[in-house]
């Protein structure tokens, strides 16, 4: 598979450090999209993997591991960087969210696997609570401008449905160091999502996103060996091409060792589930503001979540264990980028 890149080094806010504030308000920029050659064929940055990968049937944008983010930060100046709107790019005005929990009894190697009820309920609860609250309100400053009509993201949407699948994983389609023998490719992820969509008569579209959660010990790679879970990424969002786009997110099982900053609080008493939750919030926010990967990103290709990866801000809820309280539920979620203040925010705009 030919893999292309959309980004060089990521300009990211410091881990655990509030980004620099700039007086006044920074208005979003409307620019013509860069030529395809310069946008998609940039070399991978020296400090980490490319953020956006493109193949024959899909394009994805990854959420790097903590090590990957730290490596990028070493080679890129930590300065305020605005998200730029690229002409005719589409946003997700409101979101309809679906979850697929894929948890067979065994992995491909025969080893046991699991996905606790607490893990599932926390992810589903987060995706239900997200809509109408602080991070989603920050999204409302972003818009699309198509045919002279400007449409802003609305702090609204709803949860569309959930499906629990115990069908066996397909034969391992990729080779990776973190989960040898237990690995599925992006193409195999497509097949599972489309199978479940057909079973439930769910349909795609710009206002829908499908989250696929896999169980403990199961890895994934974009193709047979490049950009893999727990080494290159902790999650990603993408779009399956076709006449009706299918926007989706791949959420590997939470791994605090590589997908969370040491010492980060676990407001729900389950570090694995809380680690996955911040990845879920990261991917949903990026999918809302850049569902087709053609709308809001920096000149270097970073999306709204990349600029604030693993940055949490003050914990003012749940006995100083959480930075969000939605519908009486506590979460520790990374901040997202606010173009009005050139900084990362818990709420906005």
Question: Where do the structural domains in the chain lie, given as residue ranges?
Answer: 4-345
Indicate the average pLDDT of the chain: 87
- The answer, yes or no, to whether residue 21 has pLDDT greater than 50, is no
pLDDT of residue 79: 58
Chain center to CA of 104: 24
Alpha-carbon gap, residue 190 to 46, rounded angstroms: 30
pLDDT of residue 116: 96
pLDDT of residue 81: 77
Which tops the pLDDT comparison, 74 or 1?
Answer: 74
Which of these, 100, 110, 119, lies nearest to 191 by C-alpha position?
100
Reported confidence tier of residue 272, pLDDT bands at 50, 70, 90: very high
Q: 245: which DSSP letter? A: -
Give the tokens for residue 39: 């946008």
- Kindly give the residue spans of alpha helices, DSSP state H, lying in the chain: 36-40, 66-75, 117-130, 134-138, 186-200, 256-259, 271-289
The neighbouring-strand residues paired with 247 are 239
pLDDT tens across 280-295, in order? 999 999 999 999 999 9
pLDDT tens across 103-142, in order? 999 999 999 999 999 999 999 999 999 999 999 999 999 9
Alpha-carbon gap, residue 306 to 61, rounded angstroms: 10
DSSP notation for 250-296: EEPPP-HHHHS-TT---TTS-HHHHHHHHHHHHHHHHHHH-TTSSSE
pLDDT of residue 76: 63
pLDDT of residue 34: 32
How distant, in Å, are the alpha carbons of 95, 98, 183 from that of 259? 25, 23, 18
Contacts of 29 (CB under 8 A, 6+ apart): 82, 84, 85
pTM greater than 0.95:
no
Reported confidence tier of residue 38, pLDDT bands at 50, 70, 90: very low
Instruction: Out of 49-63, 73-87, 317-331, give the one with best mean pLDDT.
Output: 317-331
């Amino acid at each position: 598979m030919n893999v292309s890149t959309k980004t060089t080094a990521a300009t990211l806010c410091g881990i655990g450090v509030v980004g620099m504030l700039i007086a006044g308000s920074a208005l979003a920029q409307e620019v013509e999209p860069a030529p395809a050659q310069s946008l998609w064929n940039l070399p991978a940055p020296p400090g980490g993997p490319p953020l956006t990968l493109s193949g024959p049937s899909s394009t994805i944008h990854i959420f790097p591991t903590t090590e990957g983010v730290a490596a990028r930060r070493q080679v890129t100046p930590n300065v305020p960087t605005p998200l730029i709107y690229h002409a005719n790019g589409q946003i997700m005005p409101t979101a309809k969210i679906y979850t697929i929990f894929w948890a067979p009894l065994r992995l491909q190697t025969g080893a046991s696997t699991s996905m606790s009820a607490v893990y599932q309920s926390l992810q589903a609860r987060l995706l239900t609570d997200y809509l109408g609250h602080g991070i989603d309100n920050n999204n409302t400053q972003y818009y699309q401008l198509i045919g002279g009509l400007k449409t802003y993201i609305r702090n609204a949407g709803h949860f569309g449905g959930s499906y629990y699948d115990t069908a066996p994983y397909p034969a391992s389609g990729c080779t990776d160091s973190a989960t040898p023998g237990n690995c599925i490719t992006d193409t195999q992820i497509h097949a599972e999502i489309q199978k479940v969509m057909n079973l439930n008569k769910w349909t795609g579209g710009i206002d829908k996103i499908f989250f696929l959660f896999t169980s403990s010990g199961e890895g994934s790679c974009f193709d047979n060996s490049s950009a893999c879970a727990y080494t290159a990424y902790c999650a990603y969002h993408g779009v399956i091409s076709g006449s009706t786009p299918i926007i989706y997110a791949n959420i590997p099982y939470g791994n605090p060792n590589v997908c969370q900053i040491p010492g980060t609080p676990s407001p729900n008493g389950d570090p694995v589930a809380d680690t996955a939750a911040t990845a879920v919030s990261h991917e949903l926010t990026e999918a809302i503001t850049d569902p087709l990967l053609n709308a809001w990103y920096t000149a270097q290709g970073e999306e709204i979540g990349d600029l604030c990866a693993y940055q949490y801000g003050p914990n003012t809820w749940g006995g100083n264990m959480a930075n969000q309280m939605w519908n009486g539920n506590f979460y520790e979620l990374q901040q997202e980028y606010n173009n009005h203040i050139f900084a990362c925010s818990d709420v906005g705009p």
